[in-house]
Structure formats: structure tokens, C-alpha cells
Amino acid sequence: MAVRAVRGAVQLERDEAGHMSEQVGALLTAVLERNGLGTDDLISIWFTATPDLHSDFPAAAARKLGIVDVPLICAQELDIAGAMPRVVRLLAHVESDRTRADIAHVYLGAAAALRKDIAQ
């Protein structure tokens, strides 16, 4: 089993806690499903949010999904002029038999424009 890193992002339509929970939950679910992972495969998840998001911690969505024994951390993205607004990104460290090239990075909706080179 190897340690792999999985990237992902989603752009929120609005800064509301319920909407963030729903969208981040969908992102996490997609990351797990597309990579054939279960919660026991998770080592840690790092979340970032753009500075215009204030309603909740993205990690709260993971806890609502039952991910309660995995280290999670949230941080603020750099405030870069012209950057896509209302974006939550994640970097998950996982145990997987997949090769690095076979890891599916998940960029939902408009966030796919952030990394066209790796978005699936």
C-alpha cells in the first residue's frame, strides 16, 4: 500500500453553512468513490477556502459524513486578485494500491477550470 495525495475543489454558489456542507460533502464523496477509497484509507485532509468564505469550516462537512477519526485542518487560500471566488480546495493523503497516475483528482462544476490538466 502506498501513500498518495488526492486533490480536489468545488466552487460554491453562495457563502452559507448549509450550502458549504452540501458541496464539500459532495466533493469528498466523489473523491472517495472515484478512487475506490473508504474512510479507513484516509490519513489526513487539508482544506483551504478562499477569503470570501466565512460561514463555516469546510472540515465540518467531513465530520457530518462520519469522518471523525481522521486529522483535518482548514486554512485560508491566498487572496490573489482575479482568482476564482468562493472555492474550497482539498488535499487528501490516502493509502491506496493505485499508482500516482491512476489517482482521480476531482474538480466539481466551475472548479474544473482551475486544473484542466488533472481534473476528472
The CATH number of residue 54's host domain is 3.30.1330.40
Please state the rounded mean pLDDT for residues 76-85: 96
pTM: 0.94
The CA-atom distances, in angstroms, between 38 and each of 67, 77, 115 are 10, 27, 25
Binding residues: 7, 89, 107
* Domain, as residue range, for 97: 2-117
Give the number of domains in the chain.
Answer: 1
Please state the rounded mean pLDDT for residues 5-10: 98
- For 9-56, what is each residue's pLDDT tens digit? 999 999 999 999 999 999 999 999 999 999 999 999 999 999 999 999
What pLDDT shows up at residue 119? 61
Binding residues for prephenate: 7, 89, 107
